[in-house]
Amino acid sequence: MENVETFFSKIQSGNLEAVKAFIEDQPELIHTTDARGFTPLILASYFDKNDLAKALIDKKAPVDARDAMGNTALIGVAFKDNQEVAKYLLNHGADINEKNNHGVTPLIFASMYDKANMVKFLLDKGADKTLRDHEGKTALQHAESEGFEGVISYLL
């Protein structure tokens, strides 16, 4: 257990070499979760550790693994507006329309938080703007309810 906690601590701090060494010694760590249900890839993505996220993907971290809320790394980077990691995830097979426990896709999440550049990026990569969350709302409806004009312009 201590190894797992140390491993996740190294991810959070962005210690790329230490994380690589952990995975080399214990490859199964790539499939573990921390106390909050974060996978190594989700945690690296959440903390904008781009090089670390890419290294984890290269080591075959499951790109569509979910945290306790059902969020994937792509959903997380959509919220963070991190197109660099989003592109890498998509190039390695991440599902652009994957939904979390609330039915929220990366596009809906980006729309909810006024991430216009991410919305455009996801649409350009083929995100389905007709999908609805568990409230029955599309990305456009979320953006309209908040008055996010930049997001709305891309979704129309």
Ordered DSSP codes for 48-111: T-HHHHHHHHHTT--TT---TTS--HHHHHHHHT-HHHHHHHHHTT--TT---TTS--HHHHHH
CA distances from 21 to 24, 25, 29, 81, 116 (A): 5, 6, 11, 29, 38
Residue 14 belongs to what domain range? 1-95
Give the model's pLDDT for residue 2. 67
Which CATH number does the domain housing residue 70 bear? 1.25.40.20
Are 4 and 44 members of one domain?
yes
Give 100-156 pLDDT, tens digit per residue: 999 999 999 999 999 999 999 999 999 999 999 999 999 999 999 999 999 999 999
Residue 120 pLDDT: 98
**Mean pLDDT, all residues of the chain:** 96
Quote the number of domains for the chain: 2
Is residue 47 located within the same domain as residue 115? no
Residue 155 sits in the same domain as residue 109 = yes
Residues 17 and 41 in one domain: yes
For residue 50, pLDDT over 80 is answered with yes
Decide which of 54, 75, 95 is a domain's last residue: 95
Tell whether the model's pLDDT for residue 93 goes beyond 80.
Answer: yes
Same domain, 23 and 90: yes
Q: Are residues 51 and 119 in the same domain?
A: no
What is the per-residue pLDDT for 1?
57
**Whole-number percent of the chain with pLDDT over 70:** 99
